[in-house]
C-alpha cells in the first residue's frame, strides 16, 4: 500500500491555537503516540485502536504549542507500536519520502517526517527510543531533535521503553526547530559547546565518502566551534548489545499483556522483535541495564568539557522501498549501533541535513551533554544564518 501523505486521514484532528505567541501562524502535526482528548491514540495498529478508549487528556507538549500560537492540523502515521526504524506499516502502508521517492521514509516517526519534508506543515512531533526521530529526519533530508531523556514532558503519550523514550520534533529549517524548542525545553546552564569531535567508530561504519564530508564541514568551522581530535568509544556493537535487550524487556512489559490477550498481526521484523522481547528474563534485562549505565558513564566523560560529538546520523541514505527484509535488517543493525550511543547515554542528539551519498540525504548528528538541547539548537540556527 502506498500513502499519498503521512497524515492519518481516517482520524482527522484539528486544534486551533489557544494563545498568541512566538509560534503564531505555524502549522504542526503530531505522531499517533500523543494523546489528544476525545480521540484514540492508535500507535500504528488498527487492533490497538479498536481495543482502546479515547484519551481523556491532551499531551502537555501539544497544549504548550497551542498556547504559543501554533495550530495542530492532524495526526501522523507511525510504525506498529513504534517498534521499527523503517516507516513501513503492514496495515496502513508507507508514507512517501519526498527527498528519495523510491526510498523508505524511516520510522517510527514516519508520517511526521514525511509531512514536514513535503512542506505540508511547518513542524511535526515525533518520538524517539532507538532512533525514531533521528533516522526519519536523516532519510527525509530535514532537521530533527531527540531531546535529553526526561527533559520533555512525556505525560499522556504512548511508550515503548520508558527508560529510553523521548519526545522530539522535525522541521525543514533550524530556526523553526529552535522556536519549538524554546517552548518545550528548559534553559541550559552547563558548559557552552566549544569543539566538535568526530566519533571514529561511527565514521568507519558509515564509510569514507560520508566521513570525508563530515571532516570537511568541521574543518571549515562549524558555527564557530573548533575541530577537536576524534573520539574512540570502542566497538559500537557494545552499545547495541546493551540497548537491545533493555529496550525489548521494557517493550514487553508495556505491551505484552495486550499482545497475549489480542494476538495482533504484526509485519516482518516487528513480529520477530516482540517474540524475542517476550523471552528476555528479568535477570537478562538487569544485566543489560547495568551495561547501559557503564556505557553512559563512558560517553559522559567525553562531553563534560564543552565537547560535542559529531557523526553521521545513519550509515546510508534512505533504503530502497523494494529492499529485501534481510537488507533492511542489515542496515537497521548498523544504524542502531550508531543511534544507541545517545540512546544508552540519555543524551540529546540533533540531526542536520548536511551530508549526502549517491542516493540522497544523510544527517549529520551532534551529541551534547545532558540538558544541552537548546545550546545544540542554537548552534544549528547560528550555522544556518551564516
Q: Which residues are catalytic?
A: 31, 108, 132
Contact 318, 105 (CB under 8 A): yes
Length of the chain, in residues? 386
**Cβ neighbours of 193 (radius 10 Å):** 23
Task: Render 36-52 in DSSP notation, one character per residue.
Answer: -TTS---TT-HHHHHTS
Q: Which residues pair with 123 in a beta bridge?
A: 28, 171
C-alpha distances out from residue 233 to 344, 346, 379, Å: 13, 16, 24
Angle at 110 between CA 1 and CA 207, to 5 degrees: 110
- Of 368, 370, 380, the C-alpha closest to 193 is 368
Task: Render 281-335 in DSSP notation, one character per residue.
Answer: -HHHHHHHHHHHHHHHHHHHHHTSSSEEEEEESSSSSPPBTT--HHHHHHHHHHH
Query: What's the CA gap between 96 and 105, in Å, rounded?
Result: 6
What angle do helix axes 237-262 and 270-278 make, rounded to 10 degrees? 90
The cell for 285 is: 534485562
- Of 109, 248, 250, the C-alpha closest to 171 is 109
Kindly give the residue spans of alpha helices, DSSP state H, lying in the chain.
46-50, 60-67, 110-117, 134-140, 174-184, 200-206, 208-219, 237-262, 270-278, 282-302, 325-345, 373-384
Amino acid at each position: 500500500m502506498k500513502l499519498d501523505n503521512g497524515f492519518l486521514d481516517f482520524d482527522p484532528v484539528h486544534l486551533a491555537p489557544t494563545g498568541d505567541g512566538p509560534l503564531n501562524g505555524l502549522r504542526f502535526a503530531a505522531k499517533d503516540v500523543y494523546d489528544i482528548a476525545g480521540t484514540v491514540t492508535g500507535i500504528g495498529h488498527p487492533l490497538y485502536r479498536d481495543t482502546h478508549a479515547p484519551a481523556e487528556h491532551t499531551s502537555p507538549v501539544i497544549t504548550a504549542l497551542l498556547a504559543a500560537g501554533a495550530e495542530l492540523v492532524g495526526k501522523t502515521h507511525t510504525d506498529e507500536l513504534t517498534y521499527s526504524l523503517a516507516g513501513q506499516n503492514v496495515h496502513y502502508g508507507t508514507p512517501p519520502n519526498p527527498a528519495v521517492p523510491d526510498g523508505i521514509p524511516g520510522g517510527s516517526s514516519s508520517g511526521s517526517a514525511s509531512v514536514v519534508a513535503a512542506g505540508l506543515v511547518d513542524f511535526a512531533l515525533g518520538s524517539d527510543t532507538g532512533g525514531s526521530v533521528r533516522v526519519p529526519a536523516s532519510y527525509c533530508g530535514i532537521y530533527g531533535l531527540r531531546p535529553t531523556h526526561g527533559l520533555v514532558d512525556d505525560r499522556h503519550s504512548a511508550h515503548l521503553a520508558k527508560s529510553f523514550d523521548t519526545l522530539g520534533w522535525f522541521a525543514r529549517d533550524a530556526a523553526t526547530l529552535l522556536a519549538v524548542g524554546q517552548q518545550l525545553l528548559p534553559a541550559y546552564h552547563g558548559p557552552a559547546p566549544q569543539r566538535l569531535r568526530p566519533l571514529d567508530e561511527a565514521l568507519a561504519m558509515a564509510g569514507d565518502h560520508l566521513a570525508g564530508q563530515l571532516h570537511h564541514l568541521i574543518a571549515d568551522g562549524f558555527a564557530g566551534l573548533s575541530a577537536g581530535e576524534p573520539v574512540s568509544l570502542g566497538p559500537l556493537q557494545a552499545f547495541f548489545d546493551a540497548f537491545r535487550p533493555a529496550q525489548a524487556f521494557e517493550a514487553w512489559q508495556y505491551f505484552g499483556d495486550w499482545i497475549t490477550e489480542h494476538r495482533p498481526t504484526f509485519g516482518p521484523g516487528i513480529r520477530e522483535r516482540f517474540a524475542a522481547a517476550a523471552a528476555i528474563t528479568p535477570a537478562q534485562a538487569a544485566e543489560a541495564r547495568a551495561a547501559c549505565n557503564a556505557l553512559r558513564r563512558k560517553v559522559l566523560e567525553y562531553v563534560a568539557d564543552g565537547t560535542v560529538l559529531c557523526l553521521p546520523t545513519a550509515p546510508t541514505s534512505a533504503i530502497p522501498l523494494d529492499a529485501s527484509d534481510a537488507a533492511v535488517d542489515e542496515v537497521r543493525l548498523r544504524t542502531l549501533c550508531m543511534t544507541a550511543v545517545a540512546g544508552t547515554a540519555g543524551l540529546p542528539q540533533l540531526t542536520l541535513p548536511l551530508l549526502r551519498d549517491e542516493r540522497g540525504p544523510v544527517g549529520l548528528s551532534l551529541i551534547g551533554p545532558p540538558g544541552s538541547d537548546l545550546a545544540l539548537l542554537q548552534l544549528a540556527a547560528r550555522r544556518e544564518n551564516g
